[in-house]
Amino acid sequence: MSGHRPRVFYGWWVVIAAALGLCLGSPPILVFSFAVFLGPLSQEFHTGRAAISLAFTLHNLISAVSAPLIGLLVDRYGARKVVLPATVIFGSILVLSKILTANLWQFYAFYLTLGVIGSGMSPVPYGNVVSHWFDRRRGLGLGLMMFGLGFGAMVMPSLAQRLIAMFGWRVAYAAVGSGILLISAPVVAAFLRERPEKMGLLPDGVARASSAPARDCDDLGLSWHDAWHSPTFWLMVSAFFLVGASVHACVLHTAAILTDLGSTAQAAALASSLVGVALLIGRVGSGYLLDRFFGPRIAAIFFGAVAIGIALLWIGNSRELGFTGAFLVGLGMGAEVDIIAYLTSRYFGLRAFGEIYGYAFGAFALAGGIGTFLMGFGFDLTGSYRTPLVGFFAATLVAIVLMIRLGPYRYNARGAEDTETLQLQPEETI
């Protein structure tokens, strides 16, 4: 390499761009802010909350189906060719929400379309890019990327609530869409680069020495067909599904659970914010730990925290226990998405990472819709959250057992034996 070398590894700019794309992406506005829109939408369409909630269920279902397809497109054509059009189209549809009429079928079509397009700007394509830029620090890179999603989940509901109160739900959607078009899309277009090799680097800021042959280590990995027939894949997906259903059910019903424990509406809202804080800690903390310790053990620890949190919600002796339980569940929810991406790269490599991760993430999204429904169904059936909480507690324990049965990594981080012909630039290790 010759010429000026930046002191900051360019991969961190990629992480920032990805974090911003996720912050102004589909989950913060369509998933985590859904409860804020629920009341105004019910009034607008003159229907019950169950009919409006069906839009959320349809969104999660179509997102689960779309995620593997998006992963396949990323593997074939690259993440930029998927993320940039999806970002522009997604923002434009939100802006055009102002023309929606009071017909409920239009709102369903609105959410279904956003579910498909939103998959193109989800953690699946962004995780693919960040995984190519980082190897030994992949966990931290993914964790910081997911920090954007967690920050959006924490900030967007309050912002949307204020916009709805001032201008109505249509303007709230349109304002977020404008932010995507004016802020997120230009930043992602400017900074998102798919591979470090095109800039004369290797993952983690390793520069290729002039005497070193070109290598493309990141293309190592299993095909989707091989992963599909791997017991490891099914152990992982089953664990992710069980915990995904449990954390979504508890988080989306947190306010109702705490209200049943005697909390005021204001205190329940504070608990939701506390879950957001836990989610941020889980994202960054799990990423940091995954780079230093064996991933399935880290997953088992975070899943254990979820189990303890569910148990505290189930005991329900006091609001303090309820707050602690909600925090622990949020911690596990924040860590799970990082863990899915990281373990997918370590057990199956990056050859078909997008497609494999798409199926794993799709299972997580599907589990969220099913778990949330089962929690509400259990409450309607028994008049209490205690019975469904027991079921989700058991599901989380099973997920822990599945995680600790995973064997050693198939694709470890590049070690010293793989970097003998590579020159690490000290100024690029930031």
Query: Does residue 313 share a domain with residue 279?
Result: yes
Region of residue 213 (left: phi > 0; alpha: psi -120 to 50; beta: else): beta
Residue 207's beta-bridge partner residues? 201, 423
Q: Which residues of the chain have pLDDT under 50?
A: 1-3, 209-218, 416-430
Q: How many domains does the chain have?
A: 2
CATH number for position 152: 1.20.1250.20
pTM of structure: 0.81
Spatial contact of 361 and 60, defined as CB atoms under 8 Å apart: no
Query: Does residue 195 share a domain with residue 159?
Result: yes
Query: Does residue 280 share a domain with residue 144?
Result: no
Query: Does residue 229 share a domain with residue 203?
Result: no
pLDDT at residue number 309: 93
Region of residue 6 (left: phi > 0; alpha: psi -120 to 50; beta: else): beta
Query: Does residue 229 share a domain with residue 111?
Result: no
pLDDT at residue number 210: 46
Query: Does residue 235 share a domain with residue 177?
Result: no
pLDDT at residue number 69: 93
- In 3D, which of 287, 333, 290, 289 has the Cα closest to residue 310? 333
Query: Does residue 172 share a domain with residue 267?
Result: no
Query: Does residue 225 share a domain with residue 200?
Result: no
Query: Does residue 304 share a domain with residue 191?
Result: no
pLDDT tens digits along 87-121: 999 999 999 988 877 788 888 899 899 999 999 99
Query: Does residue 269 share a domain with residue 373?
Result: yes
pLDDT at residue number 234: 95
Range of the domain at 152: 1-214+413-430
Q: Whole-angstrom Cα distance, residue 29 to residue 155?
A: 10
Residue 349's beta-bridge partner residues? 221
Q: Whole-angstrom Cα distance, residue 302 to residue 308?
A: 10
Residue with tokens 């909390």: 263
Does an H or E element contain 250, and which?
helix 231-252
Phi and psi at residue 349, to the nearest 5°? 75, -165
Query: Does residue 397 share a domain with residue 421?
Result: no
pLDDT at residue number 82: 94
Query: Does residue 285 share a domain with residue 270?
Result: yes
